[in-house]
Amino acid sequence: MVKVPVRLVSWDEIVKWSWGLAKKIRQAGYNPGVIIAIARGGYVPARLLCDFLGIENLISIQSQHWTEAAKKSERAIIKFEYKVNLENMKALLVDDIIDTGESVILARDYIIREWKPKELKIAALQWISPVAKIKPDFYYLEVKEWVWFQYPWTRLEDVTQFLKRMLTEESKNKKEWKYIEIIRKFIEWYGIEVDEEYYKEALRTLIEKGLLEKRDEIFIVKV
Rounded Cα–Cα distance for residues 187 and 202 (Å): 15
Continuous segment of H or E residues that includes residue 215: strand 212-215
Nearest distance in Å: CB 9, ligand AMP: 8
Binding mask 27-46 for ligand AMP (x = CB under 6 A): --------------x-----
Phi, psi of 179 (to 5 degrees): -55, -45
Residue nearer to ligand AMP on the CB measure, 25 or 126: 126
Interacting residues with ligand AMP between 126 and 185 (CB under 6 A) = 148-149
Among 62, 100, 168, 205, binds ligand AMP (CB under 6 A): 100
* Contact pick of 25, 44, 45, 103 for ligand AMP (by CB under 6 A): 103
149 or 199: whose CB is closer to ligand AMP? 149
- Segments of 25-106 assigned E as strands: 34-39, 57-64, 77-78, 90-98
Q: Which of 17, 48, 86, 99 binds ligand AMP (CB under 6 A)?
A: 99
User: How far apart are the C-alpha atoms of 160 and 70, rounded to whole Å?
Assistant: 12
Binding segment toward ligand AMP, per CB under 6 A, in 78-86, 96-104, 107-115, 190-198: 96-104
CA 173/CA 201 separation, integer angstroms: 25
Residues 6 or more apart whose CB falls under 8 angstroms from that of 126 comprise 17, 96, 97, 98, 139, 140, 141, 142, 143, 149
Q: Which is nearer to ligand AMP, 154 or 171 (CB)?
A: 154
Let me know the angle formed at the C-alpha of 110 by 42 and 18, rounded to the nearest 5 degrees.
20
Q: Which residue has the closest beta carbon to ligand AMP?
A: 41
- Work out whether 65 is an interface residue with ligand AMP (CB under 6 A): yes
Report helix, strand or coil for 211. coil
- State which residue, 95 or 108, has the beta carbon closest to ligand AMP: 95
- Applying CB under 6 A, the span of 15-23, 101-109, 171-179, 207-215 interacting with ligand AMP comes to 101-109
- Where on the chain is the footprint of ligand AMP (CB under 6 A)? 41, 65-66, 76, 95-104, 148-149
